[in-house]
Amino acid sequence: MDKQKTLVGKDIELAIQFLKRNELVAIPTETVYGLAANALNPEAVVKIFEVKQRPFFDPLIVHVHSIDEIQKYVTYVPMAVYELAKHFSAITYVLPKKEIIPDIVTSGHNTVGIRIPGHALTLELLKKLDFPLAAPSANPFGYVSPTTAQHVLDSLGGKIPYILDGGACSVGVESTIISFETEIPTILRLGGTTVETIEEIIGKVDIDIQSKSNPNAPGLLDSHYAPNVPLYIEKYPPEYSHDEIGVIAFQHHHEGVPLHQQFVLSPTGDLSEAAKNLFHALRSLDNMPIKAIIAEIFPDESLGRAINDRLHRASVKRARK
Ligand code: TXA
Ligand code: MG
């Protein structure tokens, strides 16, 4: 494809024009930005895979504006989904799909991941469209997800016609994925809605985030969300001096490392704030002339679990085998 100019703005009508022409538009959600296409049109959806360089076996999430819309695309909506959707938006529900959802969206699976994003601009867009939007995170496959329009522009600029700018994402990590294919609902990806809050609403859930048991879901692969600069968890590699290192810390700076190479995600110890700042910190450090990134382990509770999951998948031990 010829390099094209990527426009950035808040113009929903323009976004609609592109989407109706089967073009891609990056859209804001409260979790991360998505790279959207008409989910019902395989010719539009194939462009997502091309632009992201995403393998076809990795299924996409379908975005709709209401629970009634979910009913149009899945054969069965459990009560638990109604309950959860009343309270939270950062959840993707894996449910049995209807025929109308093309195989390219679900990578041939008979289930579809579907969510109602919690972002006013994108909800307005979805309400004005007469089709749902298939949208993975708007980053090249395997890289850190974007949480601002600028992040999208940095990696997909020139490859898509329009980025709908909805400001910085308020949650900052991807949605929690929960499957209702099993007797007890199973969390397949830790994300923006915590296990604790989900269990408060629907009772005990199982957690199965091991890629081995989900070989077809690369969002769950060991190596994912990775910056180009090697990332280490907790330990300073001895071959680098402190000047060559970047830090991702929870509450406090690290002694000896230049301050501008450090991101303290939440000085007050708020895990939601830390999640919101995580991907910006990773991207910023990745653009600095440093040799390594050291990340702390976060408290293993609430959004700390999703943060730790992303950091482990981004880390060097797993990323570079
Ligand atoms: O917050 C989010 O979920 C963002 C925003 C844009 O909605 N989207 C996102 O999409 O993170 P993506 O493509 O980067 O991750 C989607 C992951 C896939 O990699 C796969 O693991 C899982 O969702 N998935 C999608 N459909 C599935 C299905 N039918 N069964 C199991 N897993 C599925
Ligand atoms: Mg992704």
Digitized pLDDT (tens) for each residue of the chain, 321 residues in all: 456 799 999 999 999 999 999 999 999 999 999 999 999 999 999 999 999 999 999 999 999 999 999 999 999 999 999 999 999 999 999 999 999 999 999 999 999 999 999 999 999 999 999 999 999 999 999 999 999 999 999 999 999 999 999 999 999 999 999 999 999 999 999 999 999 999 999 999 999 997 544 545 555 555 677 899 999 999 899 999 999 999 999 999 999 999 999 999 999 999 999 999 999 999 999 999 999 999 999 999 999 999 999 999 999 864 443
List, as one string, the DSSP characters of 231-257: EEESPPPTTS-GGGEEEEESSSPPTTS
| Secondary structure element (H or E) that encloses residue 162, with its range | strand 162-164
Superfamily of domain 7-207 in the CATH hierarchy: DHBP synthase (3.90.870.10)
Distance, CA of 168 to CA of 48 (rounded, Å): 22
Structure confidence by residue, pLDDT tens digits, 27-77:
999 999 999 999 999 999 999 999 999 999 999 999 999 999 999 999 999
How many other C-beta atoms are found inside a 10 Å radius of the C-beta of residue 76? 10
Give the closest residue to 121 by CA, choosing from 133, 106, 103, 111: 133
Give the closest residue to 168 by CA, choosing from 250, 280, 93, 247: 280
Indicate if ligand 1 lies below 6 Å from the C-beta of 219.
yes
Residues carrying CATH 3.90.870.10, the chain: 7-207
Determine the residue type at 36.
Answer: A
Indicate if ligand 1 lies below 6 Å from the C-beta of 169.
no
**Which CA distances in Å does 189 have to 31, 110, 186?**
13, 19, 9
What is the architecture of the domain spanning 231-314? 3-Layer(aba) Sandwich (3.40)
Structure confidence by residue, pLDDT tens digits, 80-114:
999 999 999 999 999 999 999 999 999 999 999 99
Residue nearest to atom 31 of ligand 1 (CA): 217
Counting from 1 in the atom list of ligand 1, the atom nearest the Cα of 54 is 13
Distance, CA of 253 to CA of 233 (rounded, Å): 16
Give distance in angstroms: CA of 314 to centre of ligand 1. Answer: 17
Burial of 202 (0-12, 13-18, 19+ CB in 10 A): middle
Give distance in angstroms: CA of 243 to centre of ligand 2. Answer: 31
Token pair 């900052």: residue: 172
Q: Are 304 and 173 in contact (CB under 8 A)?
A: no
| Secondary structure element (H or E) that encloses residue 118, with its range | none
Residues carrying CATH 3.40.50.11030, the chain: 231-314
**Which CA distances in Å does 80 have to 67, 84, 184, 192, 266?**
12, 6, 11, 18, 33
